[in-house]
């Protein structure tokens, strides 16, 4: 292993200043990694965000074209479609003895191949967690999907563990399916709760009231899923096979085609994956 990577807590530079970059910079600082630079794209608005984050973690802000990149690890935290562009921008440098990692859950480390040709160890490391500005996310017990070349993987896995994460290895070819798994584990759940709010309007509830009313049942259902499994986590007309009740649901949702379509799609999945009485009769309702 190169001499520059023998330190227990290697220095890190972060490209990006969004919600993931912010959470990562804070966690690195708390775990006694030095964050040397917060690097922005070459425009004033990106630099403004990078400067604000750099102040919080005692790092130096820099534009991409002027950054030193003296850190042992460079962590790219930009949107998936921008990773290749960033890598190309950096390809004129000598990367011998350094690790470059990106955080996409859907893109493989091969998008950094131009940097590998310049001597870098390359990897991808995606934390399976949601990061939003309104909450402080922790990496404790968070799975990190890691792939790349052998040297980079060993370094990034060790770093993820210092953050409290749980790294695991994944084949690059499986990352799109893994990322779709992440979609169903968070954005789809938020969309479903937004749909529940919309149905609440049909019952005369405003958005705040709907959230207040649904919170106990949502929390109990999620708790049930993880204490046992989804097959044992729910009750209601689908489980009981209450066909007339479900017909009433379908009638009331006719005025909202998108919600009706979602109801039908979820019911079909439930009839396929979850226990239900009167399964054959119910399937006829959703064909």
Are 94 and 167 part of one and the same domain? yes
pLDDT digits (tens, 9 = 90+) for 204-218: 999 999 999 999 999
- Residue after which a domain boundary falls, among 130, 145, 173: 173
pLDDT band at 176 (very low <50, low <70, confident <90, very high): very high
Structural domain of 225: 185-285
3-state secondary structure of 36: strand
pLDDT above 50: residue 101: yes
pLDDT digits (tens, 9 = 90+) for 21-61: 999 999 999 999 999 999 998 898 999 999 999 999 999 99
**Measuring CA to CA, which residue among 265, 271, 211 is closest to residue 241?**
271
pLDDT band at 128 (very low <50, low <70, confident <90, very high): very high
pLDDT value of residue 136: 78
Number of domains the chain contains:
2
DSSP 8-state code for residue 9:
S
**CATH number for the domain including 102?**
3.40.50.720
- What rounded mean pLDDT belongs to the chain? 94
- Residue after which a domain boundary falls, among 173, 200, 225: 173
Q: Is residue 60 part of a domain?
A: yes
Tokens of 88: 């190309």
Q: What is the C-alpha to C-alpha distance for residues 65 and 60, in angstroms, rounded to an integer?
A: 14
pLDDT value of residue 4: 45
- Residue after which a domain boundary falls, among 109, 144, 173: 173
Residue carrying structure tokens 């749909």:
195
DSSP strand E in 27-89: where? 35-40, 60-63, 73-76
Q: What is the pTM of this model?
A: 0.91
Q: Is residue 178 part of a domain?
A: no
């Amino acid at each position: 292993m190169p001499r520059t990577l023998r330190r227990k807590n290697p220095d890190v530079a972060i490209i990006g200043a969004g919600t993931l970059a912010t959470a990562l910079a804070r966690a690195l600082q708390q775990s006694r990694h030095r964050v040397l630079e917060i690097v922005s794209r070459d425009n004033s608005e990106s630099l403004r965000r990078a400067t604000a984050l750099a102040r919080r973690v005692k790092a130096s802000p820099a534009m991409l074209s002027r950054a030193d990149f003296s850190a042992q690890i460079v962590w790219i935290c930009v949107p998936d479609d921008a990773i290749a562009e960033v890598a190309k921008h950096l390809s004129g440098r000598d990367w011998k003895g350094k690790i470059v990692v990106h955080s996409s859950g859907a893109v493989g480390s091969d998008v950094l191949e131009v940097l590998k040709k310049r001597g870098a160890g390359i990897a991808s490391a995606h934390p399976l967690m949601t990061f939003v500005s309104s909450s402080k996310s922790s990496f404790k017990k968070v799975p990190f999907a890691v792939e790349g070349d052998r040297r980079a993987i060993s370094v990034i896995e060790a770093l993820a563990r210092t953050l409290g994460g749980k790294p695991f290895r994944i084949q690059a070819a499986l990352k799109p399916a893994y990322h779709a798994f992440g979609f169903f584990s968070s954005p789809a759940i938020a969309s479903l709760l937004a749909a529940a709010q919309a149905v609440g309007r049909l019952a005369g509830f405003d958005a705040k009231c709907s959230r207040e009313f649904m919170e106990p049942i949502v929390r109990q259902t999620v708790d049930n899923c993880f204490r046992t499994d989804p097959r044992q986590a729910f009750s209601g007309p689908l489980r009981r096979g209450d066909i007339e009740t479900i017909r009433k649901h379908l009638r009331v949702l006719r005025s909202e085609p998108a919600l009706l379509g979602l109801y039908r799609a979820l019911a079909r999945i439930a009839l396929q994956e979850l226990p239900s009485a009167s399964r054959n009769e119910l399937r006829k309702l959703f064909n």
